[in-house]
Structure 1
Amino acid sequence: MSDLTVEMVQRGRGPSTQEANRRRGIAREIRSAREKLTSTTGLERAFDYELLRLYAQYRVGAGIPLGLFAVALAAASVFWVPPVVAAVWALCVFATITLITTLSRHFLRQNPGDVSLARWRRLFVLSEGMQSLCWSLMIGLGATGGRIFALFGLVIAAAVATMLGATVPAAAVAGLGPLVLATLSLLLFSREPDAILLVAMALGSQLFFMGLARRLYTSTVGALQSRAEKDAIFGELEQAKANSDEARRRAEEANLAKSRFLATMSHELRTPLNAILGFSEVMKNEVFGPHTALSYQEYSNDIHDSGMHLLNLINEILDLSRIEAGRYELNEEALQLAHIVEECRHMMGLRARQKGQIFLDFVDDSLPRLWADERALRQIVLNLLSNAVKFTPPGGEITIKVGWTSSGGQYVAVKDSGPGIPEDELGTVMSSFGRGSLAIKTAEQGSGLGLPIVKGLVDLHGGQFQLKSKPREGTEVIVTLPATRVMDTLPAMSVEPGNLPAKAAAKAA
């Protein structure tokens, strides 16, 4: 039977993350294509509305400046036309400016979802054409001697119309058309080379403004598309965050259920295990007499060893689950790291001698005490020595080092002369229940929890765990405890006899 992977489980629960992202992208593209098909400009409705909204905002903001500009032109035109004619022209321009400003304000006050984009686009184009027609009436000055002044006004009006209407290309064209015709009509009043050159320059300027308006429209659409993509990304991030929070909540519930299960199962398993271990030890030691069959002695040993192995496995699983859940409580006290290492080495000495292995000790006995959990440190050192003895070949060497770190902390390092671990398996041996290929091939007993437990206990002490190994060069594990856990020795206090209490001074005398 093939192994059940996380990907297979995830696929069974629902689509993967990549598949979900692909589906969201397809749905977004379909929605965008549908909106483009129903749009008259080939853009999505949201873009059409934004372009009209920008046009309305520009027109509302330009109302007062355009009115003042019309007043200035009307005042200057009295040199060529009667004041009444200039006033009528200014009122015409004022009326169209007021019309566009009123329409723009009304558009901005409406709910975006209720706006008829095609209708408002037609209104803006029509009003833009009317205003441009009023501006083009300045051509009357050309017949009375103000040709250059009229050209100046027409060029300025063309620049304003194309820039303000850039987000609605039809409105920009409607605003520029009457001004171009008015500029061409100036040739009817004069055919001098200078006049033709001025008209050509004015027409070139107006066409340049039209091209510039087209570029502004393109850049505005690009900015809107970029903003829409950014908003979509933000939306996906928010959705991903919500999914992550939900997944974290479920993981916490699953972890709580796992902790409850382990607590219950540990009690249910330890109760019969105590009986198995007790009775098997009685049978193994032949307390009530020798066995009639020698096989019973072997069976008793196997039962006891298997029970001890199962008990150790249960304890390791519980320790790892408490470490991962953050519920492992440290009972800290002052202790000597060198003494703990020496006691653990002595405990593992029998197993090492059975395999002909040699311990090489480089221990600094002058190290000050550490503030740490004694049981946790013993478990760390025993796990490291047990792995070293397990994977070191008969007659090999195991090096133990205890000393200072460069930052003022203390370290313990265990190095064996075994076959080593391939680089691609370092992550495997550090994972829960992970075992390297060497352990599997040699059928070495072990749960694969030793190193994860060591790393977890080291992390609880604020230390560092480092695993170094190469094939045919052995394996070295270095555990470093921070300088904050080193207890400095306080200097002796020198007190003068006169400063001692009466009883202490009498004893000192």
Structure 2
Amino acid sequence: MTTGVSAEARAAASAALNAKRPPSRGHRKAHDKLTALSGFGSELDYELLLLFAKNELSAAVTTPLLAVIVAVGAMFWAPPAQLLLWLATVFFAKGLLISLCRQFIKTPREEVKPQAWRAKMMAAEFLYGLSWAAVAFVSSGAAGEAAHTFVFAALLIVISMRMLFASPVMPIVFAGTLPMAAAIVVRFALLDNPFYWAMAAMAIGVYVYFIWLMNGTNATITAMIGFRAEKDALIAELEQSKSISDEARLRAEEASQAKSRFLATMSHELRTPLNAILGFSEIMRSEILGAHDNPVYKEYANDIHQSGQHLLNLINEILDISRIESGRYELHEAPVALATVVEDCQRLLRLRAETKALRIIEQFEPELPQLWADERAMRQICLNLLSNAIKFTPPGGTITLAIGETESGGQFLSVKDTGPGIPENEIPRVLKSFGQGSLAHQTAEGGTGLGLPITKGLAELHDGTFELKSRLRQGTEVKVSFPRKRVIEPVPRIVEPARWLKDRQNSSAAMRAGAKT
């Protein structure tokens, strides 16, 4: 039977492992890809070009609309025919750039060659910059001072916009903005006026300043993409680690189920020889059938009896755990004072609490009636909860023990700590056998993950409820409530009716009078 159980457990674990393998391979592939990205290879070039393309598509209407506004403003000194031709050139160049960006986004990543696409986008951006630079030479000779200032301001605005949109790829920044900056300088340099020469020099200074700013922006964008790649790689590694831990948990659960089935099956075979050993050793050490010629034999018999008793107690404890898991735990119920049980458990664990400088606060309602419960199970519930609170509460924290009446007339036991808490999505996990929260290994001592499941099972065996409330960095509260039917209410004193008492007294007096006569 043991072999069959092991084979079944191995088959279940193998199936779980096979179910988890595809995501693990996917995580490894994502990890390799993102690691290459953080190494500033072709993946980085692709990400930067993709960011530029998205910027262009998000502002597909902004710069053409600005071109219309500039054309309307330039109508005061430039012929409309020239302005319309210029607008057509700007729209054509912008349409070519947008079409190229859309085609880049639609192309599968595996088919993209970043260097070739960057050359295409640089050519399209250069054409777009030339189309904007042409506005500086539309009837420039007949323009006045206001017209020169208008063109200067308009081109600087367009230069700043193009630098912002193209900042992920600096070669595209230069391809698009150099023609416009050169157009401003050439237009003002050709004018025979020192004021315009100063404006040309100022345009050069402003352009150099913009380039310096864009270099910083480009470095920030590159670092941001690198950090994002590292974050994604870390997430992939965490997911892979979680997948491995899930596989290990499934194997542990299967091993636990196999253990429970094995213990339930072998309990009778283990108890039978132990009972015989205990019985015969008891007879031998008591010398029921006669005294031993050698006194050492009596000592041996006593050692055999004590060892057998210890082994039997150990088997009983292991079987208790398996019975709770299989729903076959038997309660030995009797009147139990909940306050007495909690005080005894606190006394047992007080040294551990004092070692960590923990403060334990008692909030006991006075004169609570007794519960009809299994005293051993109640002690185990309290010890498990208090032990968990001591484990997870950092030094100098506070643990609150509370017992009292519930709103429905029952009684409750509550243990609240100031520990790190449990994330809400991990609460179902910690209530399962061998389940532990993500902070367990960081903030507490080691454990098997059976304390809370056993406590929950014992509470349900007493028709009670188990409630766990926890929030991250705000502590944990576990409350075990017992129903009203478990409370032993004191029986009120029966008061005899006055008339019945008087009749009884009269009857007694008549009987005494008859006895005298």
1:253-310 CA deviation, whole Å, 9 max, x = no partner?
2222333343455433322222222333334444444445555444444433433333
Indicate the SS of the match to 2:487: coil
1:76-118 CA deviation, whole Å, 9 max, x = no partner?
3233232222222221112111111111111121112211211
Distance 1:410 1:153 in 2: 76
Distance 2:71 2:336 in 1: 99
Name the structure 1 match of 2:331: 331
Structure 1 residues 271 and 179: CA distance shift in structure 2, 3 A: same
Name the structure 2 match of 1:77: 74
Runs of 4+ in 1 over 6 A off after TM superposition: 27-31, 377-381, 408-411, 455-459, 480-486, 493-497
Q: Give the counterpart letter for 1:217 in structure 2.
A: N
Any conservation in 2 of the 1:334–1:369 contact (CA below 8 Å)? no
Distance 1:199 1:82 in 2: 25
Name the structure 2 match of 1:259: 260
Q: 1:113 aligns with which of 110, 120, 135?
A: 110
Structure 1 residues 96 and 330: CA distance shift in structure 2, 3 A: same
Distance 1:285 1:96 in 2: 110
Name the structure 2 match of 1:129: 126
Name the structure 2 match of 1:184: 185
Any conservation in 2 of the 1:52–1:167 contact (CA below 8 Å)? yes
Structure 1 residues 303 and 329: CA distance shift in structure 2, 3 A: closer
Q: How does 1:69-218 map to 2 (within 5 A)?
A: 69-140=66-137, 141-145=139-143, 146-218=147-219
Name the structure 1 match of 2:10: none
Q: Give the counterpart letter for 2:183 in structure 1.
A: A
Indicate the SS of the match to 1:191: coil
**CA apart distance, 1:371:** 2.7
Name the stretch that deviates more: 220-229 or 101-110: 220-229
Distance 2:50 2:381 in 1: 69
**CA apart distance, 1:328:** 6.7
1:40-73 CA deviation, whole Å, 9 max, x = no partner?
xxx2333222211221122223332222222222
Structure 1 residues 257 and 135: CA distance shift in structure 2, 3 A: same
1:116-148 CA deviation, whole Å, 9 max, x = no partner?
211110011011111111211122243222322
Distance 2:292 2:176 in 1: 114
Distance 2:59 2:379 in 1: 81
| Corresponding residue pairs, total | 363
Indicate the SS of the match to 1:371: strand
Distance 1:62 1:116 in 2: 25
Task: State the TM-score, normalizing by the size of structure 1.
Answer: 0.60
Distance 2:376 2:496 in 1: 43
**CA apart distance, 1:181:** 1.6
Gaps of 5+ in 1: 1-23, 37-42, 342-365, 382-403, 412-451, 464-479, 498-509
Name the stretch that deviates more: 301-310 or 164-173: 301-310
Q: Give the counterpart letter for 2:275 in structure 1.
A: N
1:14-42 CA deviation, whole Å, 9 max, x = no partner?
xxxxxxxxxx99x9799856995xxxxxx
Distance 1:82 1:315 in 2: 104
Any conservation in 2 of the 1:35–1:45 contact (CA below 8 Å)? no
Q: What RMSD, in angstroms, separates the aligned Cα atoms of the two structures?
A: 4.3
Distance 1:405 1:199 in 2: 82
Name the stretch that deviates more: 95-104 or 312-321: 312-321
Indicate the SS of the match to 1:79: coil
Any conservation in 2 of the 1:136–1:179 contact (CA below 8 Å)? yes
Structure 1 residues 75 and 306: CA distance shift in structure 2, 3 A: closer
1:303-349 CA deviation, whole Å, 9 max, x = no partner?
334333332333234335556x58573526451449x99xxxxxxxx
**CA apart distance, 1:172:** 0.5
Structure 1 residues 105 and 298: CA distance shift in structure 2, 3 A: closer
Any conservation in 2 of the 1:163–1:209 contact (CA below 8 Å)? no
Name the structure 2 match of 1:8: none
Structure 1 residues 326 and 233: CA distance shift in structure 2, 3 A: farther
Any conservation in 2 of the 1:52–1:168 contact (CA below 8 Å)? yes
Q: Give the counterpart letter for 1:307 in structure 2.
A: G
Any conservation in 2 of the 1:407–1:483 contact (CA below 8 Å)? no
Distance 1:197 1:259 in 2: 91
Q: Give the counterpart letter for 1:112 in structure 2.
A: R
Distance 1:405 1:151 in 2: 78
Distance 2:157 2:381 in 1: 84
Distance 2:69 2:55 in 1: 21
Any conservation in 1 of the 2:38–2:44 contact (CA below 8 Å)? no
1:163-211 CA deviation, whole Å, 9 max, x = no partner?
2211111111011211122122124432323222222333333333322
Structure 1 residues 168 and 496: CA distance shift in structure 2, 3 A: farther
Indicate the SS of the match to 2:131: helix
**CA apart distance, 1:368:** 2.8
Distance 2:118 2:166 in 1: 11
Indicate the SS of the match to 2:60: helix
Distance 1:266 1:489 in 2: 39
**CA apart distance, 1:224:** 1.6
Any conservation in 1 of the 2:50–2:105 contact (CA below 8 Å)? yes
Name the stretch that deviates more: 297-306 or 185-194: 297-306
Q: Give the counterpart letter for 1:143 in structure 2.
A: G
Any conservation in 2 of the 1:167–1:220 contact (CA below 8 Å)? yes
Any conservation in 1 of the 2:335–2:488 contact (CA below 8 Å)? no
Structure 1 residues 48 and 328: CA distance shift in structure 2, 3 A: farther
Structure 1 residues 326 and 230: CA distance shift in structure 2, 3 A: farther
Q: Give the counterpart letter for 2:243 in structure 1.
A: A
Indicate the SS of the match to 1:372: strand
Structure 1 residues 96 and 496: CA distance shift in structure 2, 3 A: farther
Distance 1:65 1:244 in 2: 51
Any conservation in 2 of the 1:142–1:189 contact (CA below 8 Å)? no
Any conservation in 2 of the 1:330–1:373 contact (CA below 8 Å)? no
Distance 2:260 2:226 in 1: 50
1:207-226 CA deviation, whole Å, 9 max, x = no partner?
33322322322222222222
Gaps of 5+ in 2: 1-26, 342-366, 383-400, 406-410, 414-449, 466-478, 498-517
Any conservation in 2 of the 1:125–1:174 contact (CA below 8 Å)? yes
Name the structure 2 match of 1:448: none
1 or 2 for the larger relative contact order (CA 8 Å, sep ≥6)?
2
1:45 and 2:31 correspond: no
**CA apart distance, 1:378:** 9.2
Distance 1:34 1:72 in 2: 42
